[in-house]
Structure 1
């Protein structure tokens, strides 16, 4: 089909030409006027900016001279910025800034070039103040004034554009120094030279007067929202001593690479795609691990989604550790009630590649371990802070034809025969204990009273014989309780985990040790390296049950002058009660060797649970409470009867055994990683901390029980 030609009369073409011509002439005239007046306009703009900086931020800004250099470039000299009552923040001798004209017409400032010659930026921390706290004050004021609901996606888009638009196409920075002073205890200087030429970036940074020379090389294309660069140091690892000085940590690496691939809206969400990789990264922080951890090769291809009220690392992201891969999903939803989500998915892959991918120094006991087969892993965690009891937690490491073919540094089957166990207290070894027939106190599982066995299993790990090392429901409940209490009040360790922690691992409370504990438990349980019966037998022979009392053989003789086989149900329940806090055992007795009345509730609770499970007879004798008597030789060491007692905490569902006495650690972090040195010293000086005061309910129960005993005494008389 051929379209007919549109004929426009010549007079209309002439009128159109005249209009365009007049418009161009007007624009040129305005341009000429603006060009001639631009110096005056520039002075007004500079004066206005200086006034605004002083009014809004309390900044004293001075500019020696400001003139145009060419059509769209402004050259300034003698620039200083001094916050009110603070140290000078910045000083620049010469600065030339060029902007792109076309975006400027539409109100967007994009830099075309930047030239800077000699200057400094100086950040000073003095006690609780800094010379950049005017930024924080401004942000606080803005947040107070802006009561409307913010959209995180829009904020991310605006921030990204602001950052990218300030990256020029061409840049030449010479003799620029960045200084940082932290209360005169740590000082950093970065003498910087940087060039951007048609998008190619090269930069050299002299750290602390040639302590180290850093390089940043890469490519920047702010218009298409793409950039990439590599950071490395001359002849050594790139590190920052300040971290070691201030945070007691060490972080270094050979190279660090980052790439921004794209940043744009995806529906209502703002999506940032990029990658980050590192070579030979070394981490040393006492709460992470007691030694250096080296990540040889790691990379993250990430898609970050920022929605109206959430930030997430999307599941399309992939993390690489050597030849192992995993897909993470992390989401944080803001609002009146925050929501935390975490998912990890590792598709079925070669098991040896997984073990080889572990950072060096992370799992010392497993270094050199050889395996065959495949494994896959899935983790799902979801916590809505409005309803913490509904927290979801699932973690599954699935073996496929998995087999251990060579041990690493530690033979995980060593406990199948006699071995030497060394307990530690406050980081120091106590004594060597032979776990085997050569030790007179060693007690085979068959020679231990069922009353003790069932009491401890009920208290510590009711499903020991049916689980595979972990109880997800117990972990889930612990997460909910600990979140609600805002402290580490309940743990989720099984007997398997306690055994591995004591037998195979160091005493330090670190993240690395906890992760190693979990992995070793999985290896032992899923490969049936040790039978459940042997694990329980070893556990009962190493368990701490008092001050320098280890194992049921020592404990039964120490407290009751009995063989482990002869323990009554009451004695078994008592010994189970001291497992969480064994050094406080003697506090539970009064001067005549009988138990303090507040323990009665504990016995009733324990006895009822054991009766429901067929481990005891539903009681008419108070589950042996009144028959428990400390052997006579120990009674002279008892604390006065007036000593404060501990509090019995009972789970509402009646299934998980309560801890009789709780550690008074300050927070979750301290409970995970251990107390500070100050706390340790305090504990060494006070091995038996005072218990909490009795509740009114306990006092009433004690009075009723006392009256009952008096009536029985009268009747008996």
Structure 2
């Protein structure tokens, strides 16, 4: 028995000796051939750069130091017909030996100094154009659907493997020149040791120079990090390049980015973490007229990647000052391309919500006070392949909610007389007094029912039944805006037009649109003003022609009548010029009659009113074509005027 055991033990030792000898031979072989392999790899890279990218790749000196450490000097990548793309004086990199044996390249240490990446776009093109991804139509059609979980995991893994556990970088920079818009981010130093990261960065653009610092914990092997980003100088961190390129100015005090977990669980990739930003200032003409300020924003995020989808899980929590909500965002292309958005805002105090709104984005709410609580739910779903089936469900549940004090927009002023001034191209127009002391003011009872019915038909048929918004119109507006990738359709109700005219500007900004939506909701859902009074104010303030405000002025301007005397055809004309009142004259021909398209448009609205029972066939009897008799006639170029202009020109040309 003992002899048998001894023999087995001897065999094990013998096997271990053989493995050891083979390992030594492998290492010796690798040591012997390593430089040749390295030089061959560099030649292959150089050939590929020349063949596929029309670039010259060169390394002045490259050699191994030990088994897994590579030293390289003077590395350059230069497009043959453009500016130098990449230069670095020296790199010393060490890879994990055991990972190298398995074919998984993983940096364990890295030292680099004195280099730059140079991205240039000028009149001759981009010096990095050859490296941008390209796909032919055939490739796009035949390509398999991307598995988002596998792709994201592969990219994250490769990126993290290239981040060493020990690192020392000095004097490296990223230079950008976009048609003269320049930015340079200089990494003066960066070190990573024992999972502690420290860095010093200098930023220089055409408009400012700053010094930044990034510090915190970085553990690439365990896929975790907790970094803070702040300014070493006084003032906020400014975001470079975007101010010149997009006229977007952004600045903040600090950013924190934390990644707690990156895990492939079954067929889903989970990425969990936390990020925050303090005192963010944003300024852009499409957002608001002045700086938008977010004092404190946080995002406890849970990203999900599946085979056919990318999502932010509803377990995520977004915080904006004292507002907390749970978003769910998903893109899914398993069958159709579907975008989903769900927002759940738990019950909160109304006053906390008002005080948490970003400064500058809701200026008309500043100073507003409210009592009570509310919660909110939003469900939006858009199928790109079936766009007309858009889902938009918005629900707000109130609990003793009421406005105690208004801010700049005092909605209650609509109940009494007030002075209105339209603003066109930032220029305030003449004041219009909305009250009985104005001789042109027309109470609703003194306006012909024909005009009320015609305007409601063209502008807002369900005005007396909706609460500020028409859901179907809102959905179609969303579809149209998504298709055109801009705000081309607004789905404005009379309530929205009234609020926009009286309290807001005509700016096409995100701020104005958001304020309009919130103010209309408050106006319609708190019974501040009756529907009849809203319609009366609307008729007395809207623009009906060049410098013509209110139906009292309009009735005289076009027809030398009072609002109570207008005929059905005259009312159809007035209703149809509301969208573009300053261009009314182009609807007339040289005989001062409506052009065929304008007559057909008015006839269409009249027939629509008949079908809906708004008017009866009796109302259309004895209706004559409209005839502009008031001051508006001077805006219409008649045949007589044209003849006079021609005669005058002829005389001037042949006047000896």
User: Structure 1 482/28 Cα, relative in aligned 2: closer, same or farther at 3 Å?
Assistant: closer
Does residue 246 in structure 1 map to residue 245 in structure 2? Answer: yes
Q: Deviation of residue 633 (structure 1)?
A: 6.0
Deviations 1:533-566 (A, max 9, x none): 1111110000111111111111111111111112
Alignment partner of 1:523: what SS? helix
Structure 1 residues 85 and 603, CA gap change in structure 2 (3 angstroms)? closer
Take 1:340 and 1:604, find their aligned partners in 2: how far apart are those partners?
41
Bigger Cα displacement from structure 2, 447-456 vs 188-197? 188-197
Cα offsets for 1:666-694 (capped at 9, x unmatched)? xxxxxxxxxxxxxxxxxxxxxxxxxxxxx
Is the contact between residue 304 and residue 313 of structure 1 (CA under 8 Å) also seen in structure 2? yes
| Match of residue 12 from structure 1 | 8
Structure 1 match to 2:548: 549
1:346 equivalent in structure 2: 345
Task: Give secondary structure in 2 for the equivalent of 1:553.
Answer: helix
Q: Is the 8 A contact 2:344 2:376 kept in 1?
A: yes
More displaced 10-residue stretch of structure 1: 256-265 or 555-564: 256-265
- CA shift digits 1:202-232 (9 cap, x unpaired): 1100122992110011211111211121111
Answer whether contact 1:570 1:623 (CA < 8 A) is retained. no
Match of 2:67 in 1: 71
**2:319 aligned with 1:320, yes or no?**
yes
1:93-104 equivalence runs, <5 A = 93-104=89-100
Matching residue of 1:702: none
Deviation at 1:341, TM superposition (A): 2.0
Correspondences of 1:486-635 after superposition (within 5 Å)? 490-590=489-589, 594-617=593-616, 619=617, 622=620, 626-631=624-629, 634-635=632-633
Secondary structure at the aligned position of 2:467 is classed as coil
1:604–1:623: 8 Å Cα contact kept in structure 2?
A: no
Separation in structure 2 between the aligned mates of residue 291 and residue 633 of structure 1, nearest angstrom: 41
Preserved contact between residue 276 and residue 299 of structure 1 (Cα < 8 Å): yes
* Contact residue 171 and residue 186 of structure 2 kept, 8 A: no
The partner residue of 1:638 within 636, 639, 656 is 636
Aligned equivalents of 1:318, 1:78: Cα separation in 2: 48
Counterpart of 2:652? none
Which of 214, 227, 240 matches 2:212? 214
Provide the aligned C-alpha RMSD in A: 2.7
Q: Partners of 1:315 and 1:470 in 2: how far apart?
A: 28
Instruction: Say whether 1:151 aligns with 2:152.
Output: no
Structure-2-length-normalised TM-score: 0.91
Shift of 1:475: 1.0
SS at match of 2:586: helix
Any idea what the Cα deviations from partners look like across 1:87-134, whole Å, max 9, x if unmatched?
112222221001111111111011100011222222222236222222
Shift of 1:489: 5.7
SS in 2 for 1:103: helix
Seen in structure 2, the aligned counterparts of structure 1 residues 560 and 139 have a Cα distance that, compared at 3 Å, is closer
Residue in 2 that maps onto 1:136 = 132
Give the Cα separation in 1 of the matches to 2:631 and 2:41: 92
In the alignment, which residue of structure 2 is the partner of 1:680?
A: none
1:626-671: per-residue Cα shift (whole Å, max 9, x none)?
Answer: 353322665454235899xxxxxxxxxxxxxxxxxxxxxxxxxxxx
1:260-339 alignment to 2 at 5 Å?
260-334=259-333, 338-339=337-338
The secondary structure found in structure 1 opposite 2:12 is helix
Task: For residue 441 of structure 2, give the secondary structure of its aligned residue in structure 1.
Answer: coil
Matches within 5 A, 1:56-67: 56-67=52-63
Consecutive unaligned residues of structure 1, counting only runs of 5 or more, are 1-5, 644-717
The whole-number CA distance in structure 2 between the counterparts of 1:357 and 1:452 is 43
Match of 2:88 in 1: 92
- Contact persistence 1:481–1:490 (CA under 8 A): yes
Match of residue 427 from structure 1: 426
Q: Do 2:557 and 2:631's aligned partners in 1 also have CA atoms closer than 8 Å? A: no
Aligned CA distance change for structure 1 residues 484 and 370 (closer, same or farther; 3 Å):
closer
1:386–1:148 CA distance, 2 compared to 1 (3 A): closer
Change (3 A) 1:490 1:297: closer
In the alignment, which residue of structure 2 is the partner of 1:41? 37
Task: State how far apart, in whole Å, the 2-side matches of 1:631 and 1:318 are.
Answer: 64
Q: Deviations over 1:169-217 (max 9, x none)?
A: 0001112232222233434242431000011111100122992110011
**How many residues were matched structurally?**
637
Match of 1:203 in 2: 199
Decide whether the 8 Å contact of 2:567 with 2:623 is kept in 1: no
Moved more, 209-218 or 106-115: 209-218
Displacement of 1:524: 1.3
Distance 2:124 2:374 in 1: 51
How many angstroms does 1:439 deviate by?
0.9
Query: 2:653 maps to which residue?
Result: none
Query: What secondary structure does 1:626 align onto?
Result: coil
- 1:350-365 aligned at under 5 Å gives the runs 350-365=349-364
Given the superposition, is the C-alpha separation of residues 370 and 211 from structure 1 closer, same or farther in structure 2, using an over 3 Å criterion? same
2:449 is aligned to 450
Compute the TM-score of the two structures, normalised by the length of structure 1.
0.83
1:519 positional shift: 0.7
Is the Cα–Cα contact under 8 Å of residues 592 and 638 in structure 2 kept in the other structure?
A: no
**Given that residues 545 and 584 in structure 2 are in contact (C-alpha distance below 8 angstroms), is that contact kept between their aligned partners in structure 1?**
yes
Q: CA deviation at 1:580?
A: 1.2
- 633 and 178 in structure 1: CA distance in 2 versus 1, 3 angstrom threshold: closer
Q: Partners in 2 of 1:411 and 1:49 — Cα distance? A: 69
Q: Which runs of 5 or more structure 2 residues have no equivalent in the other structure?
A: 642-656
TM-aligned CA distance change 1:96 to 1:488, over 3 Å: closer
Q: Are the aligned partners of 1:259 and 1:276 in contact in 2 as well (CA < 8 Å)?
A: yes
Alignment partners' CA distance in 2, 1:347 and 1:24:
65
